[in-house]
Amino acid sequence: MDPAVKLNSEEGELLSNITQYRRLIGRLLYLTLSRPDITYAVNKLSQFVSKPRVPHLQSVHHLLHYLKDTPGQGLYFAAASPLLLRAYADADWALCVDARRSITGYCVFFGDSLVSWKSVKQSTVLRSSAESEYRALAAVASEVTWMRGLLKDFHINIGSFSSVL
């Protein structure tokens, strides 16, 4: 998505035919299973399926152009990579224009392969950017703890763990 475009539920003219928008969003949701690079954009655009507006449809078309230009993108699982967990977390405080809620997200790599990712709008309004970052770190720490336990159950001894905020 274009970072300069701030979508909300009030700006722009309502679409006369919302079926096309809903059909496109449904197909894009299915595509996110193999294209995690579009997950955030599709999630953001799916928030407007009840009352889509022209700027929302324009953003969907922008995303479709991106998909057309990047057919080789997708999940990559390397055959040989180090047994190392890496995690990245980030938060955008009060990013949602409509609800003033924060967006937090993380991704976890096992070796060179992306194995877990999440982006979520917080259920409550957070008081500061520090609290937003803390929640992102807590979410990724929980995911990594679970993943380390799972790998231990499979008798896979991983190397060190690194985390980046």
Enumerate the domain spans of the chain: 1-75, 85-164
| Residue 46, pLDDT above cutoff 60 | yes
Q: Summarize pLDDT for 62-82 with one digit per residue, the tens.
A: 999 999 998 887 777 777 878
CB of 86 within 8 A of CB of 109?
A: yes
Q: Summarize pLDDT for 123-163 with one digit per residue, the tens.
A: 777 777 788 888 888 999 999 999 999 998 988 887 655 55
Determine how many CB atoms are found less than 10 A away from the CB of residue 126: 19
CB of 75 within 8 A of CB of 39?
A: no
Distance between CA 27 and CA 63 in Å, rounded?
A: 12
Q: So what's the pLDDT on residue 68?
A: 92
Structure tokens at 107: 């991704």
Mean predicted confidence (pLDDT) in 82-97: 80
Mean predicted confidence (pLDDT) in 40-61: 91
Sign of the torsion formed by the C-alpha atoms of 31, 33, 35 and 39: positive
Is beta strand 113-121 parallel, antiparallel or unpaired with respect to 161-164? unpaired
Query: 85-164, which class in CATH?
Result: alpha beta
